[in-house]
Amino acid sequence: MANKITYINLSQLYAPENRPSISGLRVFNETDSTSKVFVRYNLNELIYKMPTGKTYRKALYSISYELFNSYESDVVLDSATFVMSDSLYYKQDFELVFDFDIRAKYPGNYLLQVTFNDLNSKHSNIYPKNIYKGSPYVAQNFLPVDELGEIIFNNWIKSSTKFRLLSKNQTTQKLFVRYYDDEFPVALPPFATAPTPTYDYVANNLFTVKVDGGTSDLLELPGRGIYHFQTDTSTRYGITLFRFHDDYPNVTEPEQLMPPLRYLTSNKEFNEILHS
């Protein structure tokens, strides 16, 4: 029997007015028996109410989780609920990061279901997250942090960002990095009949990064492209970070508006736009 998230319409998570929302969710496999989950959220999205007999407003909310073997399983392997409150940051744009450990054993893959619940408004949202522990080289065995040690939740890095990669394997002495500077065409629409192109995985550049005690040297990504970090090059497992333009995912230049027009034009019309 499938768990309940299989039947939930998750489209509301992408609505701008959706509250309360989680703005970041990252998993780090700290050990073979546990994984640490980091949740980022903004207190400004919570409802603050004035407790009886008090002169201040207070937010009351909870973060809970359930761990399953898969979407098809309804057996809960691990669960917990954390109830929290705040009365200091009413009407302030303030982000917090909350972390907790889950009992996910290696080897195996799991489904994590995180629920963010505003107890004052009675509104909640559910966020599914796949946990990968089927190989010792998976992406979730790495954790990107900035130079201050703060968690980086996105997989794209700005040119000005300095960061480190933390590795589950404390004995790792270096990471192998494959750099790809490929320019990809606009993705085919779902109804396209053309064959899906294959990727040859031939890197434009190869280099290594020093690691000491599970922490890499301070890094920067100099050029736009794809950076794939690995501890073992005999597999394709590893963590991939991207360097786009520094305003990504926002569109800030006229030329960035051109590729989506491919879905609205014929081949001839699109080529005329590209070369005009």
In this structure, what CATH number is given to the domain that contains residue 88?
2.60.40.10
**Distance between CA atoms of residues 108 and 136, nearest Å:** 11
Q: Which of 112, 108, 111, 57 is nearest to 85 (CA)?
A: 57
Alpha-carbon dihedral of residues 214, 216, 218, 219, nearest 10 degrees? Answer: -140
Same domain assignment for residues 86 and 154: no
Residue 159 in any domain: the answer is: yes
In this structure, what CATH number is given to the domain that contains residue 212?
2.60.40
Residue 51 in any domain: the answer is: yes
Residues of the chain with pLDDT under 50: none
Write down the pLDDT at residue 141.
98
Taking a C-beta distance cutoff of 8 angstroms, is the pair 135, 239 a contact? no
Residue 68 in any domain: the answer is: yes
Number of domains in the chain: 2
Same domain assignment for residues 182 and 231: yes
**Distance between CA atoms of residues 24 and 47, nearest Å:** 20
Residue 265 in any domain: the answer is: no
User: Domain span at residue 66?
Assistant: 1-134
- Predicted confidence (pLDDT) per residue in 15-68, tens digit: 777 777 899 999 999 999 999 999 999 999 999 999 999 999 999 999 999 999
- Predicted confidence (pLDDT) per residue in 120-139, tens digit: 999 999 999 999 999 999 99
> CA of 94: how far to CAs of 46, 158, 274, in Å?
11, 22, 43
Domain end position, chosen among 134, 167, 196: 134
**102 HSE (CA, 13 A, CB side):** 36
Same domain assignment for residues 10 and 97: yes
Residue 257 in any domain: the answer is: no
Is this prediction's pTM over 0.85? yes
CA angle at 122 for the pair 91 and 3, rounded to the nearest 5°:
125
Helix, strand and coil in the chain, % to nearest 5:
10, 40, 50
